[in-house]
Chains A and B, each alone.
Chain A
Amino acid sequence: MLTLVLGGAASGKSEYAESLVLKTALPRYYLATMQVWDAECAARVAKHRKMRARKQFATVECPLHLEQVQLPARGTALLEDLGNLTANELYSPGGAGKHAARAVLAGVEAVASQCENLVLVSNEVFSGGADYAGDTDQYLLALAQVNNALAARADNVCRVVCGIPVYYKGGTPE
């Protein structure tokens, strides 16, 4: 079962996605996409890891090359988030560059084949204008390709608005 959860900044999408995962059987994996740049990032990551450990999530770091992730057992995975992962693939020295969208989609397929349930969190950043240029436009196009392809592929597509889930496809997964 593939579920795509989208929302704007601070819309409650992460919390909602996590609540979906907590309803499923163990094991639970959290696929973390943030790149750790400095001590502040590291402290944040450590704090979040601890919080999730209490909820019985095992954290797997995958800021790049999602297709190489090997999950130890079949269960439920929560990937957060596609906006971050796409930016990493697009801009990081070791990333896929202009093939970022394709790399992210291949990575999602690889992970989906290793778990019973996959919940993907992604970002809505497309309603602020239509005349972006250069790097910003490249990023928006790549993330839109990822979002639209996964919305077509997913069993459930949910947009979180002010913490309220609105299903555009499927419904609350069992």
Chain B
Amino acid sequence: MMFITGPLYSGKRTFARQFAGSCITDVQDKAADAADLTQLAEELAQYDIVIATEVGGGVVPVDAGQRAAREAAGRLACLLAARADCVVQMFCGIPTVLKGELPKKC
């Protein structure tokens, strides 16, 4: 599995389109409602490409629910990165490989 992360609108999906296989996006939204983050990460790791938007780079939200959601999203990203063969972080459309090697392009 290749895990692609990066800020909002940083070109994650556009980058992912170069690679074949099943792809799931916006997994950061799934973290808040998950009873078990590890199990969620295991399920998501069955995809070839998993995409999450980084949401932990702002000020701590005032709302408790939003705080918890942000926390869960960050933890999920760590669990996914640990399971990934390749981790890519996007920045203004430019990929940086943080772990492993990129799969073959299609």
Interface residue ranges, A against B (CB under 8 Å): 4, 6, 124, 126-132, 140-141, 144-145, 147-148, 150-152, 157, 159, 168-169
20 new A-B contacts, CB < 8 A, other than A126-B57, A129-B55, A168-B91, are A127-B7, A127-B8, A127-B54, A127-B55, A128-B55, A128-B59, A130-B28, A130-B29, A140-B9, A141-B9, A144-B8, A144-B9, A145-B9, A148-B11, A151-B91, A152-B93, A157-B94, A159-B91, A168-B94, A168-B96
Interface residue ranges, B against A (CB under 8 Å): 7-11, 26, 28-29, 53-59, 70, 91-94, 96
Q: Would you call the interface of chain B mostly helix, strand, loop, or mixed?
A: loop
Residues of B contacting A159 in the complex (Cβ-Cβ under 8 angstroms):
91
- Complex alpha-carbon distance, A147 and B91, angstroms: 9
- Complex alpha-carbon distance, A157 and B95, angstroms: 12
Smallest CB separation, B80 vs chain A (Å): 16
Smallest CB separation, B72 vs chain A (Å): 13
B8 touches A129 (CB 8 A): yes
Closest B residue to A152 using CB positions: B93
B59 touches A126 (CB 8 A): no
Residues of B contacting A152 in the complex (Cβ-Cβ under 8 angstroms):
93
Residues of A contacting B55 in the complex (Cβ-Cβ under 8 angstroms):
127-130
Residues of B contacting A124 in the complex (Cβ-Cβ under 8 angstroms):
7
- Complex alpha-carbon distance, A151 and B90, angstroms: 12
Smallest CB separation, A104 vs chain B (Å): 15
